[in-house]
Amino acid sequence: MASHIISSSTSSSDLLTVSALKRRIDALEEENGQLLNKIIKKPTPTLLREGRAVRRLVCLAGPVVDFISEHDRRQILTAQVNDMGTGASANPPPSSSIEQERAYRSYEKLVLWCPTLARLLSATPDTVDLAAACQQLQEGADGARGDDAATLKVSAMQWLNEHQPVPNPPLNIRQKEGRGFYHDLTGQLLCPVDYDWADLRVRAAVRAFEPDFRVTAHSWPSFLYPEGKYDKNHPAKGLFRGGHLLQIPSNIRHSDAYSPLQVRQLLKTIARISFKVRRRPTKLLNRTRGNVASLLKMKTVQPRAIAYIAAQLRHALSSTSSWCLIDEDFDYEAFYFNIVDYFENPGSTQKTAEINDLLLWWNRKIFGRENVAHYRPQQVEGLSVARSKMLAPILST
């Protein structure tokens, strides 16, 4: 009898504990639901719009929150070093990995092109507000990348089908089957410059995925060079210029229509996604509704926009049906950062000068003379007005 009472007492205690835990779980679930509702309700149009710049101007992939986390990690390390005082030199902070360095550089671009987020971060937001902002930026970012891919899936093939001689068979503008290395024309554009696509044996080896003819991000695709011409002795010659790839009437940036131009104009087809300005009438007046570039007051071509354009073109030419970072052996993220590093880490004064000339070329093709004061500021110190002011006191004496 006593044992039965003890057992019943223990059982009742267990039941009470279980009931309490269930109530606690229910309360936590309700609290979590309220937090999620706070995050997802009332999206901010400004954040969604600025988010559309993230893939185009900040980074091809990766969660926005990761860029912020890397900034926070560095802030903590800096604070720890400062707290060490004089002994800091004996215990320097650990060096950053390549991935961490890239994440931090992306953070710097993020706060530049997403000013709403920058203001939020400077105000030390709570976790929920920051999570909501990151979620909306992420939504805008991935949505823009998907929209661009869908646009180019059709438009890039329209351009190619106007190529002379006409592709045989013609490229399907709606379906991606038959593109990539399965088609001679798209295969030629995608072929690494290290291989000779004109050699039928090489062409067969690439299509057969032979180990010595792998297609990876370690080789530049032919479409990045003028007519695919690559000089082994001068590998940077023509790189990212695409020959006549940008030779399109300047008003294409202000047009919603696609002109049936030749394959050499492919890069400009993609560039117009990031740089064009559309005009649409309102009831009262014609008001300019700018795209991401104009809304963010982007006056010069950004290296990360070039890298994004190249990645989107590469995807449009491929046979991959949906956006993915890994296509067989080809890593889009590695390809993207190879281009970014080429521009952002020149390594020498001579290379810096070459890159400045390359960016000038891009700006002339994209913006023409519209923003010349921004992309090539005049060096006024050595001009006549400045010189006359400097020499006037000497002459007067």
pLDDT value at residue 206 = 97
pLDDT value at residue 101 = 95
Q: Where are the beta strands (DSSP E) in the chain?
A: 278-281, 286-289, 326-327, 330-331
DSSP state of 296: T
Q: Give the Cα separation of 17 and 305 in Å (integer).
A: 58
pLDDT value at residue 230 = 93
Residue-wise pLDDT for 165-184, tens only, equals 888 899 999 899 999 999 99
Q: Give the Cα separation of 219 and 60 in Å (integer).
A: 19
**Residue 117 binned pLDDT confidence (cut-offs 50, 70, 90):** very high
Residue-wise pLDDT for 34-81, tens only, equals 666 655 545 677 888 889 889 989 999 999 999 999 999 998 888 887
Residue-wise pLDDT for 248-267, tens only, equals 223 223 333 333 333 334 44
Average pLDDT score over residue span 346-369: 88
Q: Give the Cα separation of 132 and 55 in Å (integer).
A: 18
pLDDT at 362 over 70: yes
Most distant CA pair in the chain, distance: 122
Contacts of 168 (CB under 8 A, 6+ apart): 184
> Mean pLDDT lowest for which of 141-145, 327-331, 360-364?
360-364
pLDDT at 247 over 60: no
pLDDT value at residue 12 = 58
User: How much is the mean pLDDT over the chain?
Assistant: 78
Which of 296, 24, 26 is closest to 144 using CA atoms? 296
Please tell me whether residue 31 adopts helix, strand or coil conformation.
helix
Residue-wise pLDDT for 263-315, tens only, equals 334 444 445 545 443 334 444 333 334 444 554 456 788 899 889 989 988 99
Q: Which pTM does this prediction carry?
A: 0.77
pLDDT value at residue 354 = 94
Residue the block writes with tokens 């072929």: 191
